[in-house]
Amino acid sequence: MKLPPLLLAAGLLFWGVVTGFPLIALALMLAMESPRWIRARWDFDPKDYERVADLCSVAFLLLMVWQWFGTRQGPEGILTVLGWLPMIFAPVLLLQRYGVSGGVPLSALFWSLRRGRSGGVVRTLPLDHGYFAVCLLSATCANLRAPWFFPVLAGLGLYALAPLRPRGRSMAAWLPAVVCAVAIAYGLQHGLLVAQRQVEAFALDFLRDRVFGRVDPYRAQTSIGDLGRVKLSDRIVVRVGGPGARPMRLRDAVYDAFAHDAWFARSNAFRDVATEGDRGWRIAPGSGPEIALSMALVRGRGVLPLPANPALLDHLNVSKVERNPLGTVRVQDGPAALTFTVAADAAGVGSELGPTPVDLQMPERLRPVLMETLARWNLADRPGADVARALPAAFARDYRYTTLLTDAAGRKRSIEAFLTDQREGHCEYFATSTVLLLRAAGVPARYVTGYAVREWSAFEGEYRVRARHAHAWALAWIDGGWREIDSTPAGWFDLEAESASVWQDTLDLLSWMHHRWNQWRDRDPGPSEGVGLGWLAIIVPLAGWLVWSVTRRSRRDVEERRSASRTPDRLDHAMAPLLARLATLGHARDPSTPLRAWLRGLPLDDVAMQAAIRRIADEHARLRFDPDAADDAQIDALAVDATALSGRLVPSGAAAASDATPVIATSRR
Amino acid sequence: MAQALHRAFGRVQRWSAWVERRFTAAGLGVLYLMIAGGVFGLDVTRTMAFQLFALAAALLLVAWCGAGRWRPGVVLERRLPGYGTVGEPMRYTILVRATDDKAWSEVVVRDELDGRPPTTAEWRMRRRDDAGANFFDRRVGYPRWVALIRRLRGGRIAPVRMPPMRSGHESTVEMAFTPERRGIVRFARVRLLRPDPLGLINAVATRAAPQNLLVLPQTYPVPAIELPGTRRHHPGGVQAAQAVGESQEFLQLRDYRPGDPLRRLHWPSTARAGRPVVRETGEEFFTRFALVLDTFPDADDPVVFEAAVSVTASLATRLALGDALLDLLFVEDRAITVTAGRGLADTAVLLHELAQVEPGAADFGVLAAAIDRHGARMSACLHILLAWDAPRRALVQDLRAAGVAQIVLVVSRAPIAAAADVPFHVIDPVRLADTLAAMPDRCR
């Protein structure tokens, strides 16, 4: 297929501008298009192509592996490497552009073709169009959302396709087809955008409901009213370390409205958290000892479990941090394994939104039960602070923790049943009842979900937080600040621990190894700073070796060719005095007579002379037809012999006087 | 699993043939770009590859519509040579005559062969052909499948672009074809491919053009073999021979006896004697060679059988017969003997027979019996055997005992230990040319 003028340059320019490598693109453009003006071509061996292709492939694979495992990007890193493809595989095309074959041997692209190579015809494939397509694909991986992107992409594509127009088809048929195709493509890509948004919205809604409901910052579906048993895994979801690490609670999300056995966040408008120079994201004034948290992020986004009164988030490798008025913090565009530190002001009162009328609302159907419960504990007319202090003790005295979602009779639980006759349940019942009882007592209260940090690992030197350590508690507005009220009986943690798997230790070890790997990968200074130099350290020597090997072989070939072409010239030069002398003696050689036969047939009157000239003829033939055996010394020796012999030849007197073919005599000098 | 793969390969092969027909080289490039754009642009928020996908898809859609349905008025006539030879490039022509008033250009002619699909057993059997393939291809075996289909069809004919055609004109397109197997190769149809205005998708017009071509086995240079053998008595001579050896040798004149053929009457003596006198001549004695092809291969290795056929064909074309006869003996469902020499048939007839020889359905005993029947008249025998086991060894020993000079060639991949009593020569089916060149040129 014919390559339109400067197509590669256009593709590279587009790629360079989009991906932010304009200088590299310019250098590649120059290198790729120079063969249009430079006539010199090199006769590269198929093995040269294979070596270069192998080097590029290895570099590509290593970069893929590194981006996947060695950086914070994870699978996203593949897209980064795809964006570098024109750079990585440029050497292969450069070899083609500067080679004489006009294509890349298929053996460079397919390993299987290297086996049993017979040294016959080398099948080649021009890669220009493929490289141009790679430029376009790589440019799209940069994800530049510019309005000019599509028109330029379409323009380049059509420029590449223009020479393919069949000869018999007129421009009048081609142009409308092209315009039609571009219009359809524009509509299609717009439709894909809209469709993806709608599908994503639907899928996220579905996942929120079914999978990630617990950490939805807008709504918390409790298990109140469900049947069976609360089952949570032993998987370690958060690790807590650093100087400020201690037994505590980590908040996932805070909710303020309760209806239909679910908690909702009415005040849910998330706002960006501002960064504080290089110090990270400032959530609230204040400071405290740093707590290091390590956790996993799903699809790069999620809600952060934080201690009470977080002040400053640091070493947080995300693009965006948002917080809602209730104090829930969420992040976007983070790595799969997130490690950061948080400084919490233990003495602070919290920067969350103060109490609102929503914080006092409760379902009217529950009001009698709540009031009755308060009355039972003699808390009906007590001040709010007293109620808040008394509730945990009251629950611990009269209620029992269980993960069973039904009572002994198999009946479903409800808040009413929990408070009146069943008097057992898991943390959601205790937390919800506490919030509602506080509200019934006139204390603004909120519902909090998160984790209890209690399990210390001496091996890791950190606290482990497992999925089964998920917990719920209440926040109460007391003395002008939000205070945590945890009414779940203290034994819940040990009760949950009894359900631990027998494989827990093994799984913990694997989890720790994975965690350490993530820590190493995300160490500071980040690997992205060092990776460039590291790659240069590997690639530059390899590329240097390759260039040296190709150049050395090319030079050797040139030398061999020069030597092979030079040998006959030098031999002719060596024999020239002898032939000239013979010509002056009247023995010019007919060009159709082989030199050796002619020399051996010369009419010489001296037997020794005959032997000498025959020896020279044989030596000349040997050197002439076996150039590999001809070295400079032998050619020089032949020249000396021939010159010496020519000096000894004189015309025979008798023959010179007659018209007959002169017989050659030998001078006795 | 093999059955499932077998079915899947059939579908994939049909689909890839369809793609090859309908997409031009540029169209295939756009198709691959569309797939890559689709894969990397699946999440439209991550990359802009979805725009590449949209562009490629739109181009292909418009090209598809542009290609449309094409029903050209055309008459096609394929002109094949009498026969082809395995491995020998041959050329033939297709005459394309336009019968409507439309002009064409950039039309590509594809001539297609037909052949039965390979069976699962054949596909599994040809694992030896995987040498040089990578691990995945060896395990899955699709390239083997494609090679087998190509072989069963007899090869592949490269498409040829024909010059622009004006209305009512005709054009002769020269096609090149190198047969890859012997036997009957069936030419099935000719397709004309015309690209759309964008040059991405072909419109296809198909014309059935069934025709058969006989492909002769591949032959290799072999040394000129001298088969000494003594002349043997052949009672009654050879019925249809043009020349009858020593049957012209005069013995005596005698009186006519009822039953003597009239052509034996010696008219001058009859006239002189006044009674019928006939001429009595000597019985026929001449040299008769046998070329015996073993048609009982190991089912797992058809390459060996094909090599044996090639060896037989090479020997049949090289033997210096003079006035001797050559019997080609092999067994399919029954023993078959084809005689050449002395005007009965030429080597072309032997090659035609060898082009279509199939592995025998009977057992080796049938071949041994046939050779035994010929034994008395046979001067020398050339065996091309596929194994060196007890029955074959016994056959050779019996003939040796009967005084028949023999050359025994055993086509085998594995080396065979030499036998002290019966010398034989092993032919490597993979290096046929080399081993045939090193063959002995005398009977022992």
Q: Which residue has the tokens 């399990």?
A: A455
B426 and B367 together in one domain: yes
- Which residue type does A450 have? G
A184 interfacial to chain B (CB closer than 8 Å) = yes
CA A580, A585, A588, A594 torsion: positive or negative? negative
Q: Where are the beta strands (DSSP E) in A376-519?
A: 400-401, 424-425, 445-453, 455-457, 462-466, 470-478, 481-485
- The confidence score (pLDDT) of residue B62 equals 94
Interface test with A, best of B34, B39, B42, B47 (most A CBs within 10 A): B47
Compare B273 and A661 and report the one with higher pLDDT: B273
Q: Which of B26, B48, B62 sits opposite A164 (nearest CB)?
A: B26
Q: Residue B381: which H helix or E strand, with range? A: strand B380-385
Asked if the Cβ–Cβ distance from B105 to A168 is below 8 Å, we say yes
pLDDT at residue A440 is higher than 80: yes
Q: Are B62 and B198 in contact (CB under 8 A)?
A: yes
Two structure tokens written together for B129:
């052909």
Of residues B289, B285, B287, the one with CA closest to residue B234: B285
SS3 B239: coil
**Residue B363 included in any domain:** yes
For B370, the domain range is: 285-437
Nearest residue in chain A measured CA to CA from B200 = A164
A377-384 average pLDDT score = 85
**Residue B24 included in any domain:** yes
Cα separation values, B311 from A80, B211, B226, B307, B353, Å: 60, 28, 17, 6, 14
pLDDT at residue A298 is higher than 70: yes
**Residue B143 included in any domain:** no
Q: Where are the beta strands (DSSP E) in B146-236?
A: 160-161, 170-177, 183-195, 202-216, 232-233
Asked if the Cβ–Cβ distance from B131 to A178 is below 8 Å, we say no
Q: Please give, rounded to a whole number of angstroms, the shortest distance from the CA of A164 to a CA of chain B.
A: 6
Q: Between residues 308 and 327 of chain A, which touch chain B (CB distance below 8 Å)? A: none
State pTM to two decimals.
0.60
Q: Which of B55, B61, B106 sits opposite A167 (nearest CB)?
A: B106
* pLDDT tier at A659, thresholds 50, 70, 90: very low
Interface test with A, best of B39, B48, B105 (most A CBs within 10 A): B48
B314 and B412 together in one domain: yes
Q: How many CB atoms lie within 10 A of CB A306?
A: 23
- The confidence score (pLDDT) of residue B434 equals 82
Q: Are A474 and A434 in contact (CB under 8 A)?
A: yes
Q: Is the peptide bond before A603 cis (omega within 30 degrees of 0)?
A: no
Q: Give the tens place of pLDDT for each residue, B277-332.
A: 988 776 666 678 888 888 888 766 778 888 999 999 888 887 766 667 788 888 87
Please list, in sequence order, all residues whose beta carbon lies within 8 angstroms of the beta carbon of residue A98, skipping any fewer than 6 positions away. Answer: A35, A40, A41, A42, A44
B391 interfacial to chain A (CB closer than 8 Å) = no
B100 and B45 together in one domain: no
CA angle B213, B216, B219 (to 5 degrees): 155
Q: Specify the range with the lowest mean pLDDT, choosing from A88-97, A368-377, B126-135.
A: B126-135
Asked if the Cβ–Cβ distance from A173 to B197 is below 8 Å, we say yes
Q: Give the tens place of pLDDT for each residue, A589-648.
A: 887 888 888 888 887 777 778 888 888 888 888 888 876 666 778 888 888 888 888 888
CA angle B358, B359, B362 (to 5 degrees): 120
Measured distance CA(A349)–CA(A285) in Å, rounded: 11
Q: Are A436 and A370 in contact (CB under 8 A)?
A: yes
Asked if the Cβ–Cβ distance from A168 to B25 is below 8 Å, we say no
Q: Give the tens place of pLDDT for each residue, A67-91.
A: 877 665 666 778 888 899 999 999 8
Q: Are A331 and A310 in contact (CB under 8 A)?
A: no
pLDDT at residue A187 is higher than 90: yes
Of residues A98, A122, A94, A101, the one with CA closest to residue A110: A122
Q: Which residue has the tokens 């650093």?
A: A242
**Residue B337 included in any domain:** yes
A495-524 average pLDDT score = 76
Asked if the Cβ–Cβ distance from A161 to B131 is below 8 Å, we say no
B349 and B297 together in one domain: yes
Measured distance CA(A612)–CA(A140) in Å, rounded: 79
Q: Give the tens place of pLDDT for each residue, B421-436.
A: 777 888 888 888 888 8
B403 and B348 together in one domain: yes
End-to-end CA distance of chain A: 74
Q: Between residues 440 and 459 of chain A, which touch chain B (CB distance below 8 Å)? A: none
B72 and B205 together in one domain: yes
SS (H, E, C) A504-527: HHHHHHHHHHHHHHHHHHCCCCCH
Q: Give the tens place of pLDDT for each residue, A541-558.
A: 777 776 777 677 667 666
B45 interfacial to chain A (CB closer than 8 Å) = yes
Asked if the Cβ–Cβ distance from B44 to A82 is below 8 Å, we say no
Mean pLDDT of chain B: 83
Q: Are A19 and A83 in contact (CB under 8 A)?
A: yes
B206 and B271 together in one domain: no
B49 and B79 together in one domain: no
Q: Give the tens place of pLDDT for each residue, B214-239.
A: 999 988 888 777 776 665 555 555 54
Measured distance CA(A446)–CA(B58) in Å, rounded: 55
Q: Which of B36, B47, B131 sits opposite A143 (nearest CB)?
A: B47
Final residue of a domain: which of B170, B199, B216? B216
Measured distance CA(B280)–CA(B265) in Å, rounded: 9
Please list, in sequence order, all residues whose beta carbon lies within 8 angstroms of the beta carbon of residue B396, skipping any fewer than 6 positions away. Answer: B383, B406, B408, B422, B424
* pLDDT tier at A159, thresholds 50, 70, 90: very high
User: Could you give the strand order of the β-sheet that contains B202-216, starting from the edge strand earlier in sequence?
Assistant: B83-85, B202-216, B183-195, B108-114, B160-161
Measured distance CA(B293)–CA(B309) in Å, rounded: 7
- Strands A290-296, A236-241: pairing kind: antiparallel
B42 and B161 together in one domain: no
Cα separation values, A647 from A207, A599, A614, A663, Å: 105, 16, 16, 16
CA A263 from centre of chain: 40
A180 interfacial to chain B (CB closer than 8 Å) = yes
Measured distance CA(A263)–CA(B205) in Å, rounded: 68
* pLDDT tier at A660, thresholds 50, 70, 90: very low
A167 interfacial to chain B (CB closer than 8 Å) = yes
Q: Please give, rounded to a whole number of angstroms, the shortest distance from the CA of A147 to a CA of chain B.
A: 12
DSSP tag of B425: E
Asked if the Cβ–Cβ distance from B54 to A188 is below 8 Å, we say yes
Of residues A444, A413, A441, A440, the one with CA closest to residue A427: A413
Tally of domains within chain B: 4
B83 and B161 together in one domain: yes
Asked if the Cβ–Cβ distance from A130 to B29 is below 8 Å, we say yes
Final residue of a domain: which of B36, B67, B98? B67
- The confidence score (pLDDT) of residue A565 equals 60
B76 interfacial to chain A (CB closer than 8 Å) = no
A311-339 average pLDDT score = 85
Q: Please give, rounded to a whole number of angstroms, the shortest distance from the CA of A196 to a CA of chain B.
A: 7
What are the two backbone dihedrals, phi and then psi, of residue A630, each rounded to the nearest 5 degrees?
-85, 110
- The confidence score (pLDDT) of residue A446 equals 92
**Residue B236 included in any domain:** no
- The confidence score (pLDDT) of residue A479 equals 84
Q: Specify the range with the lowest mean pLDDT, choosing from A142-146, A229-233, B44-48.
A: A229-233
Measured distance CA(A480)–CA(B96) in Å, rounded: 98
Q: Where are the beta strands (DSSP E) in B244-379?
A: 250-255, 277-281, 285-286, 288-293, 325-331, 335-340
Two structure tokens written together for B204:
């296809």
- Contacts by A420-426 with C-beta closer than 8 Å and gap 24+? A420/A369, A420/A372, A420/A373, A423/A398, A423/A399, A424/A399, A424/A400, A425/A399, A425/A401, A426/A223, A426/A230, A426/A401, A426/A402, A426/A488, A426/A492
Of residues B83, B37, B84, the one with CA closest to residue B58: B37
Q: How many CB atoms lie within 10 A of CB A556?
A: 10
Measured distance CA(B414)–CA(A570) in Å, rounded: 54
Chain B residues within 8 A of A78 when measuring between CB atoms: none
Interface test with B, best of A129, A161, A333 (most B CBs within 10 A): A161
Q: Where are the beta strands (DSSP E) in A399-444?
A: 400-401, 424-425
